[in-house]
Chains A and B, each alone.
Chain A
Amino acid sequence: MTEKEALKKLKELTRLYQNVNGNDVKHLLHQISTSAGQEKAGKLLEKIESDGVLAKVAFVGSHTTQGLDNITRYEASKRNLNIQLFTGGFNQWNLLMLKPGSDLEYFDPDVTVCSLDESIIYQHFGDRGWSTETLSYALDEALAEIKKVLTVYTNRMATTIVLHTIPMPLYDWKAVTNYREKQQVSMLWRQFNQNLLNLHTTLESVIVLDFEVLTQDVRETRDPRMKHYASMSYTANVWQVFSKEIASIVASIKGLTQKVLALDLDHTLWGGIIGDDGVHGVQLSKAFPGNQFFAFQQVIQRLQAQGILLTIVSKNDWDNVKDIFTSHDDMVLSEKDFVQISCNWRPKSESLANMASRLNLGRDSIVFVDDNPFERELVSSQLPEVTVIPLSQDPSLYIHDLLIDGYFNTMTSTDEDHKRLEKYKQIAKREELKEDSASIEEYLLQLEMKLDLFEVLSAHIPRITQLSQRTNQFNMTTNRLTESEVAVISNSESSSIYGFRLKDKFGDNGIVGYVHVKKEEHRWLIENFVMSCRVFQRNVESEVLRLILENAKSQGVSEVIGNYQPSQKNKLVSDFYQNNGFEFVDYGENSTCWVYLFKKEIEKVEWIQLTASEEGMSV
């Protein structure tokens, strides 16, 4: 969905006035990325009834702060906050804060945002022209005024005050023509900002944001046309980055800070799939591309050191995973850093729900990080309280994605934060359970999965070979095929390879598996059945098997044989034939053999639709 479409949908929601699903709104908000779009969204959100936590935020300033209020509402809505806004008039900051009984006092904000610009410094120049001495004097005067106003205001009001450092205007620096003086001017100005950053030591309820750090990736922080026409010192792009911090501060005051970081493993903590690539085959190292994952883990470790609880929620066999913690040199995180580990094949929404109840934590304290949109959508639809971070495709952006919204920010850190890990570890124990859930079936139905089974043609050979070579977990016999073998088999009369592809509402997953069948007159033998882990837990395999069996029946076959040959990594599928209507025959050489005699009808998987193949012959 584009930003424009999301805004249009949001506008439609404002016209409904009732039954607006908060999760639908949040989903739309995440599609909006420009400052102009976010400002529009913030304006529309005013008309949507929110069941979020109520918070009052006031904006005052020495210049026009137009737009900051609406962008803040946008960010706050993403954090389940229902914001009431107060915006003070142009250059009213000191009057509003000083005067008892002002509109600001009457509004009684939880947070007061005070945006100041260079005008509060330059007003003290009076008739004197520019000189370094005058600047020095004016900076001192400005600081004294800020201190005075804030002291009066904080004595009267129980509110958190947010300020930011004031950047020195580029052209005031350029207008100084000698470099010795330029350095003096820069130093004085920085000294002033340092003093602002130090205000919290005497005025506890003051938070000063670092303008230069926060806006370093902002394309345009000032627009001279807006400055001259409307006294706007900073652009909406600046408000965009500040509003995230303001929302974090409000969330923290209202107790909505997240405490748990639930992490996927494959493609998240390392590149590749550990079940297929092995402990030393995954991307995780000090060189590109593994260093992207290494750096991501380092950041996660820093969060953990500040009291954020880490958990693993991965679809994997623990036996395949556990060695990476001990035998991989570049694995930053260790097993003991996690309070809880869920490595199983249950839906992640269930694992997260169980984890929350076992740790006795609210679901709203969890941030879930997964590279796979399928898993993310599952969790946000089943557990709307959980914060789901939409990880970029590019792992170099993972750190940005995790940190940009400041979900874990608090006012101060306490000893308690650092002890939290041990406390929760005592509560939690790793569990590997298998449960079914009715709600999951509903969810799968909503995915609109479309399966296409086809006989393999030459165009499919590379992908089929790749699946054969790389897939370890869903691989019944681990009988690997080369390209030429695939070509020979697919041209043969007595055997076939059926490929299958799966589409769902998130897009086309491409060819995700194949079935290799040897055909005799009345008997088919399934030589191998291979499927990518990308589509596990959707019963695709059952539906494919059912189609194969139907096809066999229509060709007069009376029995279908399947083998399971255990490897180190395919424990997952040891019960596959048994669970799908096959009967046990005997133990072969390192294998078990199963037969289907067409006695039991196999049920269609209701949430998977079938499509006719575009390229291959439909079975």
Chain B
Amino acid sequence: MITSVQQSIIEVVAEILECEEQELSMGYRKEENDEWDSVNTLRMFTSIEAEFNVRLSMEQFLNVETIQDIVSLIEAEKHDH
């Protein structure tokens, strides 16, 4: 069962990497896709902040390796408040 946070993240990532949502999963890794470069990482960062109305740590976000890592960052941020 996929959560709504997971679904939203997949939508954002798919849009920015210009791929189909079906290609993505929680374990999908940064190095699997050349499009996941520093510019697109930044675009993900701003899109996700806007989408979830949260403020994330840039440093942590830059160290993300999988989609699951992004989900965890948002969930941690949500629980803090």
Contact = CB atoms under 8 A, between A and B. Distances in A.
A40 B50 contact: no
B42 interface: yes
Contacts of A230: 42
B46 A36 contact: yes
A410 to B, nearest CB: 35
Contacts of A226: 42, 46
A229 interface: yes
Q: Provide the main secondary structure of the chain A interface.
A: helix
A36 B58 contact: no
A34 B47 CA distance: 11
A11 B58 CA distance: 29
Interface string B13-27: 001000000000000
A225 B50 contact: no
B39 A66 contact: yes
Nearest to A35: B50
A236 interface: yes
A3 B39 CA distance: 24
Nearest to B57: A225
Contacts of B47: 36, 40
A35 to B, nearest CB: 8
B50 A229 contact: no
Q: Chain A CB within 10 Å — which of B46, B51, B58 has the most?
A: B46
Interface of B: 15, 39, 42, 46-47, 50-51, 58, 62
A228 B59 CA distance: 11
A266 B50 CA distance: 39
Interface of A: 11, 34, 36, 40, 66, 225-226, 228-230, 236
B15 A225 contact: no
A118 to B, nearest CB: 21
Q: Provide the main secondary structure of the chain B interface.
A: helix
Contacts of A236: 46
A34 B50 CA distance: 9
B15 A229 contact: no
Contact of B15 (A34, A40, A66): A40
Given A40-B47, A229-B42, 15 more contacts: A34-B50, A36-B46, A36-B47, A36-B50, A36-B51, A40-B15, A66-B39, A66-B42, A225-B58, A226-B42, A226-B46, A228-B58, A229-B62, A230-B42, A236-B46
Nearest to B49: A36
A65 to B, nearest CB: 13
A229 B44 CA distance: 14
B72 to A, nearest CB: 19
A66 B51 CA distance: 19
A521 to B, nearest CB: 65
Q: Chain A CB within 10 Å — which of B15, B39, B42, B47 has the most?
A: B42
B39 to A, nearest CB: 7
Contacts of B39: 66
A230 B42 CA distance: 8
B58 A229 contact: yes
Contacts of B15: 11, 40
Nearest to B46: A36
A226 B42 CA distance: 8
Nearest to A228: B58
Please list the 9 inter-chain residue pairs (A to B) with the smallest Cβ-Cβ separation, ordered nearest first: A36-B50, A225-B58, A229-B58, A230-B42, A36-B47, A34-B50, A36-B46, A40-B15, A236-B46
A450 to B, nearest CB: 34
A394 B47 CA distance: 30
Contacts of A36: 46-47, 50-51
Contacts of B42: 66, 226, 229-230
Nearest to A36: B50
A229 B47 CA distance: 16
Nearest to B58: A225
19 contacts: A11-B15, A34-B50, A36-B46, A36-B47, A36-B50, A36-B51, A40-B15, A40-B47, A66-B39, A66-B42, A225-B58, A226-B42, A226-B46, A228-B58, A229-B42, A229-B58, A229-B62, A230-B42, A236-B46
A40 B39 CA distance: 14
A47 to B, nearest CB: 10
Contacts of A66: 39, 42
B17 to A, nearest CB: 13
Nearest to A230: B42
A43 to B, nearest CB: 9
Contacts of A40: 15, 47
A516 B76 CA distance: 64
A347 B68 CA distance: 56
A36 B46 CA distance: 8
Nearest to A8: B11
Contacts of A11: 15
